[in-house]
Amino acid sequence: MRMVKWGVGIFLVAFLGACGSSQRASQQKLALVNIVPEAKMALSMDTLKDTVLLPADTLKISAVTRIDSIDEPVVLTPEEKRLQERLSGINKTADWAPAIHYDNRKPNFVIIHHTAQNSVAQTVRTFQLPHTKVSAHYVIGKNGQVIQMLNEFDRAWHAGKSKWGTITDINSVSIGIELDNNGKEPFAEPQIEALLVLLDTLKTKYNIPQTNFIGHSDIAPTRKDDPSSFFPWKKLAERGFGIWYNEDFLPQPPANFNPTDALKIIGYDMTNPEAAIRAFKRRFVQTEVNSILTPRDIAILYDLYRKYY
């Protein structure tokens, strides 16, 4: 009799387990029916599949896992977020006829920063914390180590509220490079050499104009002072990244030369002229950073204006 009871018990456990498995399988099947068609559509599109980083099988597993743990908060990986954004750009009520001519975001500026932190590890960590809401495409250490943190076609959050010329969304058109430096020290030689190699690659790859290699303080003069006056802008300009003036001969500006207009034409936001002048002097004068343009400062400005603009 005891054996019969044990047999019945084992049968009931097996039966209930099978029902549970069947129910979970049903839920999984339902999840796949509701979710996977969009994924399959995305993955089947020639114009989209190259940008999707998750294979179809991985997406199925992810979808089922979320259904099974629906009470838990959903945390998407960067790849899943990118896929979700791509899918959100598809109008499901419209027919699909893929075009063959299109581009990703094309960077046309490089913005150089210093981290104002104590180490590369600290900066990398800062860019990986959800609450900081800040990032850059590259971080370069004092020893010349180059760390890429975002695809160059992705829009990093490095410029903040800024303006250059008529452009007010600098993040959408630029690559951000952070140099490990606290802002109070010279930049290490290996770091600058690594930067020059990277800039050469970026300039060649995206055909970035020489005038479009600028600093964070150039585009946000009221908020930022990076890179500091220690930064070797002259050395960069000699390699074709950014601009510099003729130190051996500065021509006398004509009587009708207007420094305010020249700064604006170069790109500075003249809403706050004093801040713009400080940013200009931090980059091109470096030894005396204030809001007063001396005759020599005006001559430097004029030489830059006539050479590049």
Specify the amino acid at residue 80. E
Residue whose C-alpha is closest to residue 214's, from 172, 191, 242, 194: 242
From CA 172, how far away is CA 33, in angstroms rounded? 36
DSSP string, 123-185: HHHHTT-TTT----SEEE-TT--EEE-S-TTS--S-S-S--BTTB--GGGGEEEEEE---SSS
pLDDT > 50? residue 303: yes
> Exposure pattern of 261-290 as b/e (b: 16+ CB <10 Å)?
ebbeebbbbeeebebbbbbbbbbbbeeebe
Neighbour count for residue 147 (Cβ, 10 Å)? 16
| Separation CA 238–CA 234 (nearest Å) | 6
pLDDT digits (tens, 9 = 90+) for 58-80: 433 343 344 444 456 678 887 78
pLDDT of residue 31: 37
State the average pLDDT over residues 47-56. 41
What is residue 72's predicted lDDT score, i.e. its pLDDT?
Answer: 64
Rounded to whole angstroms, how far apart are CA atoms 87 and 51? 11
- Residues 21, 24, 26: CA angle, nearest 5 degrees: 110
Amino acid at 201: T
Residue 23 is predicted with a pLDDT of 47
Residue 240 has pLDDT above 60, yes or no: yes
User: Tokens 């005759």 appear where?
Assistant: 295
Q: How does residue 278 score in pLDDT terms, banded at 50, 70 and 90? A: very high
Q: How confident is the model over 241-264, as pLDDT tens digits?
A: 999 999 999 999 999 999 999 999
Quickly tell me which residue has 């590890």 as its tokens: 121
Starting at the edge strand found earlier in the chain, the sheet holding 213-215 runs 146-148, 138-140, 174-179, 109-114, 213-215
pLDDT > 90: what percent of the chain? 66
Token pair recorded at residue 209: 């104009």
pLDDT in tens, 185-231: 999 999 999 999 999 999 999 999 999 999 999 999 999 999 999 99
Q: Where are the domains of the chain?
A: 2-88, 104-242, 245-309
Identified catalytic residue from 38, 72, 79, 178: 178
Percent of the chain with pLDDT over 70: 76
What number is the average pLDDT over the span 21-35? 40
How many Å apart are CA 9 and CA 120, to the nearest integer?
62
Structure confidence by residue, pLDDT tens digits, 78-104: 778 778 877 788 888 888 887 888 777
Average pLDDT, the chain: 82
- The verdict on whether 152 is a catalytic residue reads no
Q: Under CATH, what is the fold of the domain 104-242? A: Lysozyme-like (3.40.80)
- Averaged pLDDT for residues 146-156: 95
pLDDT value of residue 153 = 93
Distance between CA atoms of residues 126 and 133, nearest Å:
9
CA–CA separation, 148 and 140 (whole Å): 9
Tokens representing 226 are 């990076």
Residue 136 confidence (pLDDT): 97
Q: How far apart are CA 38 and CA 41, in angstroms?
A: 5
